A and B are shown apart, each in its own frame.
Chain A
């Protein structure tokens, strides 16, 4: 059947088949909320739990453009070089988590809340299901 399709459609078809089959096959051991982002550029190495950013919680309170415009967050998990110094300086998460807009950073474990060793990624994302089975049982 494949030889009847032009190469591009064939590629799309293959990707889609992979996507549905692989998604089921590899099974997801996590059932994190859709859009939860784990950020682990530095945390593990520093002996802290990786950070979980819940999109669902934030988009109830802020439109996408607040963080992805005003505050300069790139649309890419791990693509923002966020570190603790910048946050305390009022950049990135620190623009709000400063005791003014939202609670300040003194309770580390509220953000550093993922299982140790969880890689940077967007949970439940189509891409994750397609190519990157994480933490298989």
Chain B
């Protein structure tokens, strides 16, 4: 049991490199000691298995972090709770794009209209584009979770996709009826 604890602790401790040992920062820089090591602030946030080893969405929702929304203008927070299903060609499971998680961090103008059109299915792109750093790959694989996490995006099985689409069609028909 004690051994297990030690092992877990070592595993946790090795999640984040010290800046002086990360191979990127110049260890001879006298100002390096003024910079914070990632462990200090990241180890207290909800854990994740990849990227920064932090579940950023949960950290924000729990209020563990309270990042500001603006500096210059009073940019209104505009949260949109809308999932868009993106049908991938071939046998890859369908992709669910959640607007909610994104609009908690981003403004509509960060994606619309230059990365994605505001119409489901209107933007044409492939996994290869994403791997090359375009479309979803503008952020994922660079700062948001890495592209090795296939099933965080390819998260919808075909049966569920059919059900969701039927529900969305019904909801839309009802909304149209009311008008």
* A residues lining the B interface (CB < 8 Å): 6, 8-9, 11-12, 15-16, 19, 29-36, 38, 49, 52, 54-57, 59-66, 68-71, 75, 77, 95-96, 101, 107-110, 113-116, 118, 122-127, 130, 135
Contact pick for A35, options B22, B30, B107, B142, CB 8 Å: B142
Could you say which interface size class chain B belongs to? 35 or more
Contact pick for A59, options B30, B56, B146, CB 8 Å: B56
Given contact pairs A52-B25, A65-B75, A123-B24, a sample of 15 additional A-B residue pairs in the complex whose CB atoms are under 8 Å apart: A8-B90, A32-B23, A34-B51, A56-B42, A56-B54, A60-B67, A62-B67, A64-B139, A66-B67, A66-B70, A69-B110, A75-B139, A109-B30, A126-B146, A126-B148
**From A12, A38, A77, residue with most partner B Cβ within 10 Å:** A12
Interface string of B21-43 (1 = CB under 8 A from A): 11111100111101110100110
State the CA gap A35–B34 with chains docked (Å): 20
Counted as pairs of residues, one from A and one from B, with CB atoms less than 8 Å apart, the total is 170
Nearest-neighbor residue (CB-CB) of A125 within chain B: B142
- A69/B107 contact (C-beta < 8 A), A109-B30, A110-B34 known: yes
Nearest-neighbor residue (CB-CB) of A107 within chain B: B31
Query: Does B97 make an interface contact (CB < 8 A)?
Result: no
Task: Please indicate the chain A residues that have their CB under 8 angstroms from the CB of B146 in the complex.
Answer: 34, 124-126
Task: Please indicate the chain B residues that have their CB under 8 angstroms from the CB of A30 in the complex.
Answer: 22-24
Task: Please indicate the chain B residues that have their CB under 8 angstroms from the CB of A62 in the complex.
Answer: 67-68, 71
B25–A114 touching, CB < 8 Å: yes
Query: Does B141 make an interface contact (CB < 8 A)?
Result: yes
